[in-house]
Chain A
Amino acid sequence: MNTGGLSLDQAPPLGVPLRFFVTAPLFLALAALLLLVRGPEVFASRWTPAALAVTHLITIGFLAQIMIGALLQLLPVLVGAKVPAVSGFAAMVHSALTIGAVMLAGGFLSGQAGALALGAGFLGLGFLAFIAAAGAALWRVPGARHTAWAMRLALAALLVTAVLGGVLVWAMTGELRLAGFQRWVDVHLAWGLAGWGGLLLIGVASELAPMFYMTQRYPAALRGWLAPAGFALLALWSLLGVFDARASAAVGFLLGALFLLFVGVLQWLLARRKRPVKDATLFFVGFANLTLALGVLAWLAGASGIWIGLFLLAGTALAFPMGMLYKIVPFLCWFHLQGIQLRSELFDRPLPWMKGFISEAQARWQFASFIAAWLALALAVPWPEPFARIGGGLLLLSALFFLANLLGAVRRFRREAAWFERQGAAQSVDG
């Protein structure tokens, strides 16, 4: 039983998640610009400097920024965990990740060891600060809630990813001799995508689907063990890979099967939801689910890294966060306006509803632009010239469209907030 002893500032200020959300499309635009300029090189091999730069602009600049912003917001909402000194932490983490991602990508492109090392240093600082802050908040959540456990394991996976990334940069700068460099990269990539990305997706999507789409609850029998089993399989896969390739491949197969099961059940729940309201965000989530399944199948089939990148990075890692932000940003704008209205006690003014911040048409057109970009990038796998550049150009437009939609919601929020402020000032003059 809860008797409500929570502090008044339970939800973080709007600026905390927004700074991450608004920065992310800029990084996607940078990645797209790089595809526009050096697209064929990105598609030539995953080891080219341009491919490494694009990969990290997307995974750190876009995906991690949104995941961290969303987690700082969702921790209090989903599991009641409050991040200590959240505004200060958010500013520090955001600055470190932004500077770090730019320097790392610059380091890959220029081959300058100093830029790589400095980028890795800033990223290490940002990620470690975030892990410490979010970990401290999650530590205090009572009981063994599935979502909290998925989040804790995702944080642990982020720590492994960041440490491995640091080791790889150390090796790339020539300071460290690392045997089996490619295997280390694969392990780094698996912990980043399947661990940090995948486990967080399991924890958050199984909560958000019933909340945002009125689906049935994710089956409790699965929710309890999917994330811990995924973490254990990932650890086993990484360790076995050192001395038993066949056993490692078998564990890898199980890991792939686990994600297929997760996404299959999620899509099944979405298809059978109680109120099938048409909603653009469902296009994004459906496409993310499809590309996740295809990416896992491509990985299991031993397809080249370019195909896996097309499905998981250009597909799932872009579509899922975009769809979620179209739900989260309008909700946050509305939620904070509610707070302003409560304080002002001016209840006659109706607040804009979710689609009053980002319209259905705006979200659908941006989805169309994203799909056009993705299809061009898919064609770039067999025909890098000219499709990699066309895909880059379209992705640039889609990223800017996405940014414009998010900023539109913020502008609407500011306009409404300013109205309440004006009325409050007028009242205090009258009084």
Chain B
Amino acid sequence: MEHFVDVSQLQPPAPLGIVLDRVRQLPRGDYLHIRHSREPFPLYAMLADMGFAWIGAHRGDGFEMRVWRRDDEPAPPFGVN
């Protein structure tokens, strides 16, 4: 199941903090879809550290990601819902 969070209108460090909170609460088997204003490079190391995997793509003016637990089923790639 998809969960969605839009942090594209928030000032740092809110986007990073909110995304970290949301992925920690992510139910098993689900994935989090994130809309961000930019590619969040600092987030990657933290997600990897926490045992998450992700895909991401530049879309329109911003950046979108799908994040899931590494030992869960991967989220569908963009373009597939």
Tell whether, in the assembled complex, residue A334 and residue B49 are in contact, meaning their CB atoms are under 8 Å apart.
no
| Of the residues B9, B41, B54, contact of A214 by C-beta under 8 Å | B9
A217/B45 in contact, CB under 8 A: no
The complex places the Cα of A338 from the Cα of B24 at a distance, in Å, of 13
B49 / chain A contacts, CB cutoff of 8 Å: 8, 339, 342-343
What 1/0 flags go to A183-211 for Cβ under 8 Å of B? 00000000000000000000000000011
Determine the chain A residues whose CB is within 8 A of the CB of B20 once the complex forms.
338, 342
Kindly list chain A residues whose C-beta atoms are within 8 Å of the C-beta of B17: 334, 338, 351
Q: Please tell me which one of the listed residues B24, B38, B57 contacts residue A2 in the complex, with CB atoms under 8 A apart.
A: B57
Of chain A, the residue at the smallest CB distance from B65 is A2
Chain B residue contacts of A274, Cβ below 8 A: 9
The reply to whether the CB of A354 lies closer than 8 angstroms to some CB of chain B is: yes
Using known A-B contacts A1-B55, A4-B56, A274-B9, determine if residue A9 contacts B24 with beta carbons closer than 8 Å.
Answer: no
A76-B42, A342-B49 given; A335·B37 CB < 8 A? no
B30 cross-chain contacts in A, Cβ below 8 A: none
Cβ–Cβ contact B57 & A1, under 8 A: yes
Q: Tell me which of B12, B54, B55 contacts A211 (CB under 8 A).
A: B12
Q: Does A10 count as interface, using CB distance less than 8 angstroms?
A: yes
Nearest chain A residue, comparing its CB with the CB of B56: A2
Q: Which size bracket describes the interface of A in this complex?
A: 35 or more
Q: Are B53 and A4 in contact (CB under 8 A)?
A: yes
Interface of chain B, main secondary structure:
mixed
For chain A, residues 80 to 97, give those with C-beta under 8 angstroms from any C-beta of chain B. 80
Q: Which of A2, A3, A10 is close to B39, meaning CB atoms less than 8 Å apart?
A: A2
B24 adjacent to A347 (CB under 8 Å): yes
Instruction: List the A side residues contacting B12 at CB < 8 Å.
Output: 211-212, 331
Residues on B with C-beta less than 8 A from A76 are: 41-42
Interface presence of B50 (CB below 8 A): yes
- B41 and A4 form a contact (CB under 8 A): no
Taken together as a complex, chains A and B put the C-alpha atoms of A213 and B12 apart, in Å, by 9
Let me know if A6 and B44 touch, CB within 8 A.
yes
Write the nearest CB–CB distance from B56 to chain A, whole angstroms. 4
Task: A225 to B9: give the CA distance in the assembly, Å.
Answer: 27
* Min CB gap B15→A, angstroms: 9
Residue of A nearest to B74 (CB): A3
- Give the distance in Å from the alpha carbon of A10 to the alpha carbon of B46 in the complex: 9
Q: Is there an interface contact between A4 and B13, defined as CB atoms closer than 8 Å? A: no
Of the candidates B11, B24, B37, the one having the most CB atoms from chain A within 10 angstroms of its own CB is B11
Set of chain A residues within 8 Å of B24, measured between Cβ atoms: 347
In chain B between 29 and 48, which residues have their CB closer than 8 angstroms to a CB of chain A?
37-39, 41-42, 44-48
B44 neighbours in A (Cβ, 8 Å): 4, 6, 10
Q: Whose C-beta in chain B lies nearest to the C-beta of A11?
A: B42
Q: Indicate if B16 sits at the interface (CB-CB under 8 A).
A: yes
> Contacts of B10 on A, CB cut-off 8 Å?
214
Contact (A3, B55) CB under 8 Å given A80-B39, A214-B11, A342-B20: yes
Which of B9, B13, B38 is within 8 Å of A334, CB to CB? Answer: B13
Give the contacting residue for A335; candidates B11, B38, B42, B78; CB below 8 A. Answer: B42
- 1/0 contact trace for A263-293 toward B, CB 8 Å? 0000000000011010000000000000000
List B contacts of A343 (CB < 8 A).
Answer: 49
Residues B54 and A4 in contact, CB atoms below 8 Å apart: yes
Name the CB-closest residue of A to B57.
Answer: A1
Instruction: Say yes or no: is B71 at the interface (Cβ < 8 Å to chain A).
Output: no
**26 A/B residue pairs, CB under 8 Å, sorted by A:** A1-B55, A1-B77, A2-B39, A2-B55, A3-B54, A4-B44, A4-B48, A4-B53, A4-B54, A4-B56, A10-B42, A10-B45, A11-B45, A76-B41, A79-B41, A80-B41, A210-B38, A211-B11, A212-B12, A331-B12, A331-B13, A335-B16, A338-B16, A338-B17, A343-B49, A351-B17
- Contacts A2-B56, A11-B42, A78-B41 known; 15 new A-B pairs at CB < 8 A: A2-B57, A4-B48, A6-B45, A8-B48, A9-B45, A10-B41, A10-B42, A11-B45, A210-B37, A211-B11, A212-B11, A277-B11, A338-B16, A342-B46, A353-B13
